[in-house]
């Protein structure tokens, strides 16, 4: 994120954070009600935790994006299949709370990629967060890995059962360096992270409904030992 844009990004970030913070406050107020059943109490407490984690991810992404302007992120060979499985395991509770399943598509071979583990994780988690936030009819989120070109592996997050991609998000992709809209800041940051790994994000809407957000990551030239 360049310095000139920083104050604008700050305003966009403040706006983006307002939604999870407002929701957390409302959930906390609901929890004050003595008449709640134990099940309701557990449900609201879980939502409170998951919403706070979404807000924290955003703040963490913002600090990383700011840091990315002045420092280099070390790249390393990564097995994309194991990487995606780890993410799916980690975000299964969030998806379940939103009524969706998350899984990794079967793949015969998955060439090693060269990326920064932390940034790649942030990009994919942003795709998951955005899908869950903006499309509540999603039933399945599928992480899939494919080789889009000789030198590039595409890792995508495909929504099943959802609506077509909202226009205001598709406007941010694939040229995620335009401007950060009042929503979709996560995608804007994902674009920043991708650039720091010589990767590129994009999206495509599917005729049968739903859409895929993807990142094209360079293939590692090293032999995969992982």
Partner 1 sequence: MNKSFAAAIIIEDDPWMREVLEVAVRRCGLKAVGVASGEDAIYAIDDTAPKIILADVLLLHTTIFTLLNELQSHQDLAQLPVILCSGISERLPDDVCRRYGIVEVLDKATMTPNGIMAAIKRHLHAEVIA
- Within 10 A of 167 (CB to CB), how many other CB atoms are there? 7
166 makes contact with partner 1 (CB under 8 A): yes
170 makes contact with partner 1 (CB under 8 A): no
Nearest C-alpha neighbor of 157 from the set 175, 168, 171, 173 = 173
CA 176 to chain centre: 14
Contact between 23 and 51 under an 8 Å Cβ cutoff? The reply is: yes
In this chain, which stretch among 83-91, 117-125, 131-139, 149-157 interacts with partner 1, using CB under 8 A? 131-139
Per CB under 8 A, which of residues 179..198 are in contact with partner 1?
A: 182-183
Q: In sequence order, which residues have a C-beta less than 8 Å from that of residue 214 and are 6 or more positions away?
A: 154, 155, 156, 157, 201, 202, 203, 204
205 makes contact with partner 1 (CB under 8 A): no
- Site mask for partner 1 (CB under 8 A), range 91-120, x = bound: -------x----------------------
Nearest C-alpha neighbor of 218 from the set 156, 157, 158, 148 = 148
Residue 69 CB, nearest approach to partner 1 (Å): 28
| Residues lying near partner 1 in the complex (CB under 8 A) | 15, 18-19, 21-23, 25-27, 29-30, 33, 47, 51, 98, 133-134, 136, 163, 166-168, 182-183
């Amino acid at each position: 994120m360049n310095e000139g844009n920083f104050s604008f990004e700050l305003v966009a970030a403040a706006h983006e954070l307002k939604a999870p913070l407002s929701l957390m406050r409302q959930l906390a107020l609901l929890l004050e009600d003595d008449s709640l059943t134990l099940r309701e109490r557990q449900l609201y407490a879980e939502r409170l935790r998951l919403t706070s984690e979404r807000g924290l991810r955003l703040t963490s992404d913002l600090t990383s994006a700011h840091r990315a302007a002045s420092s280099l992120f070390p790249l390393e060979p990564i097995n994309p299949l194991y990487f995606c499985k780890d993410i799916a395991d980690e975000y299964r509770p969030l998806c379940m709370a939103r009524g969706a399943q998350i899984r990794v598509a079967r793949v015969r071979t998955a060439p090693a990629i060269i990326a920064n583990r932390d940034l790649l994780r942030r990009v994919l988690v942003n795709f998951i967060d955005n899908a869950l936030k903006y499309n509540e009819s999603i039933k399945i989120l599928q992480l899939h890995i494919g080789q889009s070109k000789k030198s590039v592996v595409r890792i995508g997050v495909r929504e099943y059962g959802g609506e077509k991609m909202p226009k205001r998000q598709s406007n941010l992709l694939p040229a995620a360096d335009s401007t950060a809209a009042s929503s979709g800041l996560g995608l804007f940051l994902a674009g920043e992270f991708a650039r720091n790994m010589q990767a590129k994000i994009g999206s495509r809407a599917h005729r049968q409904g739903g859409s895929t957000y993807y990142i094209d990551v360079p293939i590692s030239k090293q032999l995969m030992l992982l």
